[in-house]
Structure 1
Amino acid sequence: MKRYGRMAFISAYGLLALGLIGCGSAEDAPEPLPLGDAPPGTSRAALTVYEQAALDTAQDSASCTPLGNFYWELGNGAGPLHGLTRGSGVSATTVMPIASASKWLYAGAYVQAKGYANLTPDEKKRLNFTSGYIDEHSNLCGDAGTTVSDCYGPAYKNVSYRPLQNGRFFYNGGHMQKLALDDIGARSGTGLVSVMDWLNNRLGTTLPESDSDVATAGGFTGSAAHYRVFLMKLLNNQYELSSRLTVDSVPAWEGGPNVSSTPWTGGPAYYGLGHWIEGETVNGVWTVTGHSSPGAFGFYPWVNAARTQYMLLARHRQFGGGEGEKSRVCAQAIRKAYESGVPQP
Structure 2
Amino acid sequence: MKRCGTTRFIWACSMWALGSVGCGSPEDALDPGEGVAWETSRAALTVYEQAALDTAQSAASCKPLGNFYWEIGNASGPLHGLSKGSGVTATTVMPIASASKWLYVGAYVQSKGYANLTPDEKKRLNFTSGYIDENSTLCDAAGTTVSACYGAAYKDVSYRPLQNGRYFYNGGHMQKLALDDIGARRGTGLASVMDWLNPLLGTTFPESDSDVAVAGGFSGSAAQYRVFLLKLLNNQYALSSKLTVDSVPAWPGGANVSFTPWTAGEAYYGLGHWIEGENVNGTWTVTGHSSAGAFGFYPWVNAARTRYMVLARNRQIGNEEGEKSRACAQTVRKAYETGVAQP
Same fold judged by TM-score > 0.5?
yes
The residue type paired with residue 216 of structure 1 is V
> What pairs with 1:254-333 in structure 2 (closer than 5 Å)?
254-333=252-331
- SS of the residue 2:244 aligns to: coil
User: Which residue does 1:336 correspond to in 2?
Assistant: 334
Give percent identity, aligned residues only: 78
Asked if 1:41 corresponds to 2:36, the answer is yes
2:13 aligns with one of 4, 8, 21? 8
Task: Tell whether 2:40 aligns with 1:68.
Answer: no
CA change 1:276–1:25 in 2 (3 A) is closer
Q: Distance in 2 between matches of 1:137 and 1:228?
A: 31
Which letter does structure 1 place at the counterpart of 2:280? V
Task: Give deviations 1:218-274, integer Å, cap 9, x for gaps.
Answer: 000000011000000000000000000000000000110000000001110000000
In structure 2, how many angstroms separate the alpha carbons of the residues matched to 1:161 and 1:26?
47
Instruction: Work out the CA distance in 1 between the residues paired with 2:266 and 2:298.
Output: 18
The one-character-per-residue Cα deviations of 1:168-221 (angstroms, maximum 9, x if unpaired) are: 000000000000000000000001100011000100000000000000000000
How many Å separate the matches in 2 of 1:92 and 1:300?
13
**Cα displacement (A) at 1:35:** 1.5
1:36, distance to aligned residue in structure 2 (A): 2.8
Change (3 A) 1:2 1:322: same
Shift, 1:24, TM fit: 6.5
Structure 2, unaligned runs of 5 or more: none
Shift of 1:8: 2.8
Q: Distance in 2 between matches of 1:31 and 1:296?
A: 29
Q: Which runs of 5+ in 1 are unaligned?
A: 12-21
Q: Is the 8 A contact 1:9 1:84 kept in 2?
A: no
Q: Identify the match of residue 121 of structure 2 among 118, 123, 128.
A: 123
List per-residue Cα deviations over 1:139-169 (Å, max 9, x = no partner). 1100000000010221201000000000000
- Which residue of structure 2 lines up, in the alignment, with residue 253 of structure 1? 251
Output the CA distance in 2 between the equivalents of 1:139 and 1:92: 28
In the TM superposition, residue 69 of structure 1 has moved relative to its aligned partner by: 0.2
Structure 1 segments of 4+ aligned residues over 2 angstroms from their partners = 4-11, 22-27, 29-34, 36-40
Q: Structure 2: how far apart are the matches of 1:115 and 1:184?
A: 16
Summarize deviations over 1:48-86 as a string: whole Å, max 9, x none.
Answer: 100100000000000000000000000112111100000
Q: Which amino acid aligns with 1:339?
A: E
Note if contact 2:132-2:158 (Cα within 8 Å) is conserved in structure 1.
Answer: yes
In structure 1, give the amino acid aligned to 2:13. Answer: A
SS of 1:303's equivalent in the other structure is: strand
Deviations 1:85-114 (A, max 9, x none): 000000000000000000000000000000
**Contact kept in structure 2, 1:23 and 1:40, CA below 8 Å:** no
> Does the 8 Å contact 2:93/2:221 carry over to 1?
yes
Cα distance in 2 between the residues matched to 1:71 and 1:203: 23
Alpha carbons of 1:25 and 1:136: their partners in 2 closer, same or farther (altered >3 Å)? closer
Q: How many residues align?
A: 334
State whether residues 300 and 327 of structure 1, in contact with CA within 8 Å, keep that contact through their aligned partners in structure 2.
yes
SS in 1 for 2:18: coil
- Following TM superposition, by how much is the alpha carbon of 1:30 offset from its aligned partner in structure 2, in angstroms? 10
Whether 1:243 aligns to 2:229 is no
Distance across 2 between alignment mates of 1:91 and 1:168? 39
